[in-house]
């Protein structure tokens, strides 16, 4: 199966390990990976900050970039949700609405793609230790992907997944919110990290690089031993 | 209290909020309690999503036919001998109410809980002419006694106070001598309020939903105070936002069920009352005179705009109870009588961007509010729309942000993050770097790095790795 990877800007620039793990994992599951280099950012930082006009230019570029793809897969619930929102943004636009809808229809978040399209629930991964999982807001509430990550993680050998208290609360990332309202964001992530600590987990796993950067940054600052991993990295551990 | 509750700067209000450990503990424990209760109440109802859709449909139907239902309501209230007054502004509303009361030579007014009376600054208007105004909802009463402390929540206005603090307020103001046990605190207030109920000349209530077909006013409480406010004084004045009505009792039933489950996780509250006009001949109680004040105060200018759905709101506070930002900063930080997600959407619409322009940004757009709303208001999207208006129409966005976002617009060849990232990558970041992390960031990173590390961009971007790999070159 041919898969076109949308790496996302955070992964591309800051977390290339997540990109690599995604490629290796999907290849192991029999996919052929294509990475169009003209891809940029999905436009979400501008869109969510109120710069709709500007964001649409980025979106058009992304629509063009992925026009020929069969499946677009991304290791981010938030960026996938943004692609899914494109048709709403181009509603009534004679040229772009249809194209936006076609991109939205073929876009999948990584775990969703593995479970729903590849129909795989056990990727054959092994990771020893205790983990807790951060259900990122856009992945669960906007994209409505709730089960897939849990199913995949439940099959990782050696991994015990323990529930995270107050999992429903946002970690405080929120894109530009984290710098615009840095002190509120800092309090939010502190609460999240305390909850993670309370589980006694060795690993904090998540499906969105933004949240992981935020939570990981706080864990590092506090000098805690919890290791932060993207679900792609976990599923790629063999 | 008018809509605006503080003249302090947003940043200072937040600063006070996040450093108030008492308040934060009170808020987070209330959130957790209400969260659990709401989920149970909602589960119990079954097919919650269908109920939400029904709620949304009813509210949308009313808004699309608002003139029709308002007319019908007014007609039916008048038919039953009530007086109806349409107030375009807050001043008109509170002025009318003041005049009615002054004409009666009244001295004492008892009130049940009503946000719209806060919005129109009613208490201050009445107190200015020497009236004794008594709040009879326990939470509102606590705040009133505590030198008019502003509400921090639309359903539980004194949520920011714990029982020890309430005990101390009572000790200072009411010569209270007992403990912080809720039963003792409540019994004390009950003793005081009973006298007020019996001696009041006028009763003022809000309105959860008016029923157009019958001209009735629906009131939902747990304390039964609204029933005394409407049964004992000779004159009753009810104040409602112009959108708070339903066609018939059938819709009333649906919305009350959504309201009580979402607000407090109860199937029904202890008291649900529908009152129709003044006392009829032969009735044993009820007011001799009834006034319904219907308040616009900016609502009609929301109709027909991209923000119209906010008028679907039934003031249940579910969005507030799940909001992770509210949880950290508390209600007073919003500087409006309407806090939380609903407040951040509504306050700039009713009160203007000048006073409330920061509120739409006080959200991660996590959509917990949208998910919780029983009438499906897309709150997080409305917050984003506010940002769009602030950038495009109000032109209030900071210059540096505009420059950063421009990158997306110019064909997006090098959007913000890429620019930012590549600028950070080489030597530019080295003074701030220790190993792979940045602990004291420059520019916009400063606030981030006050509480967290920021990763330095990797030596090799993912795209470089992929390119090398395709070429069969070395990759790590
Ligand atoms: S916006 Fe929705 S959740 Fe919030 S108070 Fe109104 S009805 Fe309730």
How far apart are alpha carbons B273 and A197 in whole angstroms? Answer: 48
| Set of chain B residues whose Cβ sits within 8 Å of the Cβ of A63 | none
Q: What is the ipTM of this complex?
A: 0.95
User: Residue of the nearest CA to atom 6 in ligand 1?
Assistant: B313
- The pLDDT, as a whole number, for residue B411 is 46
Q: Which of residues 29-58 of B touch A (CB under 8 A)?
A: 32, 35
Residue of B425 and B219 predicted with greater confidence: B219
Per-domain boundaries in chain A:
2-116, 121-235
> Could you tell me the pLDDT band of residue B442, with boundaries at 50, 70 and 90?
confident
Predicted confidence at residue B431, as pLDDT, reads 54
Q: Please, what are the domains in chain B?
A: 10-295 (3.40.50.10420), 399-471 (no CATH)
pLDDT 10s digits, A179-190: 899 999 999 999
Any atom of ligand 1 within 6 Å of the Cβ of B275 = no
Dump pLDDT digits (tens) for A7-24. 998 898 889 999 999 999
How much of chain B is helix, strand and coil, in % rounded to 5?
55, 10, 35
Q: Please give the helix or strand (H or E) that residue A22 lies within, else none.
A: helix A16-28
- Looking at every residue in chain B, the average pLDDT score rounds to 90
Do B233 and B190 form a contact (C-beta atoms < 8 A)? no
Residues B285, B71: Cα–Cα separation, whole Å: 28
Res B476 pLDDT > 80: no
Kind and range of the H or E run holding B132: strand B132-135
Q: Return the DSSP state at A115.
A: I
Give the pair of three-digit tokens for residue B247.
């066609």
Protein residue with its CA nearest to atom 3 in ligand 1: B373
- Interface mutation vs chain B, best among A13, A21, A47, most B CBs within 10 Å: A13
What separation in angstroms does the CA of B476 have from each of A9, A17, A198, B79, B178?
20, 10, 35, 83, 71
Rounded-to-integer distance, Cα B176 and Cα B454, Å: 52
Question: E strand or H helix at B389, and its extent?
Answer: helix B379-392
> Partners of B351 in the beta sheet?
none
The answer to whether B325 contacts A142, with C-beta atoms less than 8 Å apart, is: no
Q: Is B306 on the interface with A (CB under 8 A)?
A: no
With contact defined as beta carbons under 8 Å apart, do A97 and A63 qualify? no
Is pLDDT of B429 > 70? no
Is B151 in contact with B2 (CB distance < 8 Å)?
A: no
Regarding the beta carbon of B188 and ligand 1, being less than 6 Å apart is answered no
- Ligand 1: residue of B337, B342, B345 to mutate (most ligand atoms within 8 A of CB) is B342
pLDDT at residue B202 above 60? yes
Nearest-CB residue to B455 (from A14, A52, A181):
A14
Note the pLDDT tens digit of each residue in B138-155: 999 999 999 999 999 999
Residue A232 contacts B, CB cutoff 8 Å: no
The whole-number pLDDT of residue B410 equals 54
Pairwise CA distance, residues B463 & A14, whole Å = 11
Residue B470 has a pLDDT of: 77
Of A51, A142, A177, the CB nearest to B367: A142
Query: How far apart are alpha carbons B19 and A78 in whole angstroms?
Result: 31
Residue A65, CA distances (Å) to A3, A32, A100, A156, B135 in order: 14, 18, 12, 34, 62
Least confident of A119-128, B189-198, B264-273, B419-428: B419-428
Give the distance (Å) from ligand 1 centre to CA of residue B382.
13
**Average pLDDT over every residue of B150-177:** 94
CA gap B110, B122 in Å, rounded: 12
Which one of B35, B370, B462 has the shortest CB-CB distance to A19? B462
**pTM listed for this prediction:** 0.93
| Cβ contact, residue pair B462, A16, below 8 Å | yes
Q: Which CATH number fits domain A121-235: 3.40.50, 3.30.450, 3.40.390, 3.30.70?
A: 3.40.50
């Amino acid at each position: 199966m041919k898969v076109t990877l949308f790496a996302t800007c955070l992964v591309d620039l800051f977390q290339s390990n997540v990109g690599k793990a995604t490629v290796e994992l999907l290849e192991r599951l029999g996919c052929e990976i294509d990475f169009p280099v003209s891809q940029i950012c999905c436009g979400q930082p501008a869109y969510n900050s109120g710069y709709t006009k500007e964001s649409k230019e980025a979106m058009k570029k992304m629509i063009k970039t992925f026009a020929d793809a069969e499946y677009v897969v991304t290791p981010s619930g938030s960026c996938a949700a943004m692609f899914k929102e494109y048709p709403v943004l181009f509603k009534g636009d004679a040229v772009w609405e249809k194209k936006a809808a076609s991109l939205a229809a073929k876009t999948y978040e990584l775990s969703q793609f593995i479970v729903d399209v590849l129909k795989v629930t056990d990727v054959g991964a092994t990771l020893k230790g205790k983990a807790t999982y951060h259900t990122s807001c856009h992945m669960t509430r906007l994209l409505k992907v709730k089960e897939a990550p849990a199913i995949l993680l439940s099959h990782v050998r050696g991994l015990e997944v323990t529930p995270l208290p107050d999992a429903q609360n946002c970690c405080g990332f929120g894109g530009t919110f984290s710098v615009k309202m840095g002190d509120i964001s800092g309090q939010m992530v502190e609460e999240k990290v305390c909850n993670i600590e309370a589980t006694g987990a060795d690993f904090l796993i998540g499906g969105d690089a933004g949240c992981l950067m935020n939570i990981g940054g706080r864990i590092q600052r506090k000098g805690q031993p919890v290791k932060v991993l993207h679900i792609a990295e976990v599923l790629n551990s063999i | 209290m008018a809509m605006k509750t503080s003249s302090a700067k947003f940043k200072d209000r937040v600063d006070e909020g996040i450093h108030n450990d008492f308040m934060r503990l009170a808020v987070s424990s209330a959130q957790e309690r209400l969260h659990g209760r709401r989920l149970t109440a909602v589960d119990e109802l079954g097919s919650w999503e269908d109920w939400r859709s029904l709620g949304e449909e009813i509210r949308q139907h009313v808004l699309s036919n608002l003139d029709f239902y308002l007319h019908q309501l007014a007609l039916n209230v008048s038919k039953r001998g009530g007086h109806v007054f349409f107030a375009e502004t807050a001043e008109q509303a509170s002025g009318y109410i003041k005049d009615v009361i002054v004409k009666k030579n009244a001295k004492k007014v008892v009130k049940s809980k009503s946000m719209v009376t806060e919005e129109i600054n009613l208490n201050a208007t009445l107190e200015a002419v020497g009236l004794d105004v008594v709040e009879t909802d326990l939470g509102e009463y606590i705040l009133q006694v505590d030198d008019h402390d502003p509400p921090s929540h639309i359903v539980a206005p004194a949520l920011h106070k714990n029982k020890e603090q309430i005990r101390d307020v009572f000790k200072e103001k009411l010569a209270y001598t007992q403990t912080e046990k809720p039963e003792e605190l409540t019994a004390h207030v009950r003793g005081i309020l009973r006298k007020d109920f019996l001696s009041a000349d006028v009763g003022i209530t809000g309105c959860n939903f008016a029923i157009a077909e019958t001209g009735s006013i629906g009131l939902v409480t747990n304390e039964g105070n609204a029933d005394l406010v409407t049964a004992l004084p000779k004159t009753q004045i009810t104040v409602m936002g112009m959108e708070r009505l339903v066609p018939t009792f059938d819709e009333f039933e649906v919305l009350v069920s959504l309201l009580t489950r979402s607000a407090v996780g109860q199937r029904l509250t202890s008291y649900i009352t529908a009152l129709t006009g003044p006392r009829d001949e032969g009735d044993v109680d009820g007011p001799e005179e009834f006034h319904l004040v219907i308040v616009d105060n900016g609502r009609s200018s929301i109709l027909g705009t991209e923000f119209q759905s906010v008028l679907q709101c039934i003031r249940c506070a579910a969005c507030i109870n799940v909001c992770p930002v509210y949880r950290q900063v508390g209600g007073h930080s919003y500087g409006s009588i309407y806090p939380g997600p609903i407040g951040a959407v509504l306050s700039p619409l009713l009160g203007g961007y000048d006073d409330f322009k920061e509120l739409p940004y006080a959200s991660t757009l996590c959509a917990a509010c949208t998910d919780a709303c029983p009438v499906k208001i897309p709150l997080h999207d409305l917050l984003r729309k506010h940002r769009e208006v602030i950038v495009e129409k109000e032109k209030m966005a900071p210059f540096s942000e505009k420059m950063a976002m421009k990158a997306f617009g110019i064909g997006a060849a090098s959007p913000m993050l890429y620019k930012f990232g590549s600028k950070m990558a080489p030597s530019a970041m080295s003074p701030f770097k220790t190993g792979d992390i940045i602990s004291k960031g420059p520019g916009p990173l400063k606030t981030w790095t006050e509480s967290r590390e920021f990763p330095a961009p990797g030596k090799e971007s993912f795209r470089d790795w992929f390119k090398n790999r395709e070429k069969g070159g070395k990759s790590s």
